[in-house]
């Protein structure tokens, strides 16, 4: 009888936890994700991209990655020029299916020309 009650209790606890929110599956579960990262479903991602700031965050290494003077830098804290930004309110995108260490290749293929205006592109008059 005790066993039935314990299984019922675990089941009820599991059902109650379903409403608590999403679960993050990461390479390093010992460290919680940053406070600004709150996924809406179970998924495995390594990088998060902030398009307005043009910086990445590596969830497995817990480092920010950004371009500074043509060189990609990895830092545990944001440089002073980004510290006024509230990442809790910033829009970010999860980089799915990319787990390599070199974010430069991904950036060049996917984000290098994002946000640029096409006003400088010459248009033909008809």
pLDDT value of residue 118: 40
Output the pTM of the full model: 0.59
List of long-range contacts for 8-12, beta carbons under 8 Å, 24+ apart: none
User: What residues in the chain have per-residue pLDDT under 50?
Assistant: 20-26, 28-29, 116-126
CA distances from 4 to 8, 10, 12, 17, 68 (A): 6, 10, 12, 20, 61
- pLDDT score at 83: 84
Spatial distance between the Cα atoms of 5 and 67, rounded to a whole number of angstroms: 57
Alpha carbons 27 and 31: distance in angstroms, whole number: 10
Per-residue model confidence (pLDDT) at position 125: 42
Q: What is the DSSP letter of 126?
A: -
């Amino acid at each position: 009888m005790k066993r039935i009650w314990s299984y019922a209790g675990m089941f009820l606890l599991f059902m109650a936890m379903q409403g608590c929110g999403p679960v993050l599956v990461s390479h390093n579960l010992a460290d919680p994700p940053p406070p600004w990262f709150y996924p809406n479903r179970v998924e495995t991602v390594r990088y998060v991209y902030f398009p307005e700031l043009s910086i990445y965050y590596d969830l497995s290494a817990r480092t920010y990655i950004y371009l500074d003077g043509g060189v990609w830098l990895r830092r545990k804290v944001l440089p002073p020029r980004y510290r006024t930004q509230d990442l809790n309110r910033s829009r970010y995108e999860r980089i799915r299916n990319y787990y390599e260490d070199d974010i430069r290749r991904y950036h060049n293929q996917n984000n290098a020309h994002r946000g640029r205006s096409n006003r400088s592109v010459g248009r033909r008059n008809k």
